[in-house]
Amino acid sequence: MQVISAAYLFPREEYNNLLEHFLEDIEQLKQIEGPRIFVTGSTHEHTEFYELVESNGAVIVGEDHDLSVRNFIGEMDTNVNPLEAIVDYYHLKRALPASQSTVSERVKSLVGNVSATSSDGVIFYIHHADDAPSWDFPEQKKALESMGIPVLLIDREQYRLVNKAEVDQKIKEFIKLLKSRGSKQ
């Protein structure tokens, strides 16, 4: 998320240089072990929640928020004019935001993403003023549970974690459940 967000903030040339260094250094990073978590719900613009999850021994392997993964899902058509290909990719081809999708489209997308990332569990983190993800939750939960994927709902939370201890406890219990089931690490 931080790497993608930086693309919106840095001058292009500076960002590209930083990205090249990051990609060179990534090979030397230690692989994180733990239950594989997929995050969905409200869009996150900061890493506070992600850091909390991973500090409890899990690894976030995917998410479906507008500010990150949706910027690079799928392939760009290289058989057409490059400018048209870019416009089509970002305007037409990539996964639609929740506000422009049906519940069944969101269910199908989430199930596909969770399967593709071999996630052990899914955390729905929903902000207090974001109703749309709550509408999708019952059908998404039903579909995930039919696949044997445990779900944790953290609903009606403030933008920043004001009740961090309570959320932390829920995450700890969820990760303990996933470890007891044997994750796909």
CATH classification at residue 151: 3.40.50.11900
Q: Considering the domain boundaries, does residue 123 fall inside one?
A: yes
Q: Give the pLDDT confidence of 66-93 residue by residue, as tens digits.
A: 666 666 666 778 898 888 887 777 666 5
Q: Are residues 152 and 61 in the same domain?
A: yes
Residue 49 has what pLDDT?
93
pLDDT of residue 43: 85
Q: Are residues 156 and 170 in the same domain?
A: yes
User: Which residues have CB under 8 Å from 72's CB, separation 6+?
Assistant: 4
Q: Are residues 18 and 61 in the same domain?
A: no
Instruction: Tell me 90's DSSP state.
Output: I
102 and 56 within one domain: yes
Whether residues 103 and 162 fall in one domain: yes
23 part of a folded domain: yes
The answer to whether residues 51 and 4 belong to one domain is: no
- What DSSP state is assigned to residue 17? H
Beta strands 151-157 and 121-127, pairing class = parallel
HSE (side-chain half, CA atoms, 13 Å) at 16: 3
77: Cα within 13 Å, side-chain hemisphere: 15
104 and 25, same domain (yes or no): no
For the chain, give percent helix, strand, coil, nearest 5.
Answer: 55, 15, 35
Same-domain status, 3 and 22: yes
Q: Does residue 164 belong to any structural domain of this protein? A: yes
What total of structural domains would you count in the chain?
2
* pTM of this structure: 0.83
Spell out the residues 6+ positions from residue 38 whose beta carbon is closer than 8 angstroms to its own.
Answer: 60, 61, 62, 63, 64, 110, 113, 114, 117, 119, 121, 122, 123
Report if residue 73 sits inside a domain. no
| 42 lies in the same domain as 25 | no
Length of the chain measured in residues:
185
Given this model, what pLDDT does residue 30 score? Answer: 83
> Rounded CA gap, 117 and 36, in Å?
8
- Tokens coding 119: 């996630």
Q: Per-block average pLDDT, block size 10, for the chain (185 residues)?
A: 81 91 86 92 87 95 75 76 79 58 88 94 94 92 98 91 93 96 67
Based on the fold, state whether residues 117 and 156 are members of the same structural domain. yes
Q: Give domain status of residue 174, yes or no.
A: yes
Q: Look at residue 71 in the predicted model and tell me its pLDDT.
A: 62
pLDDT at site 1: 74
Residues 11 and 21 in one domain: yes
Domain that holds residue 106: 32-67+98-180
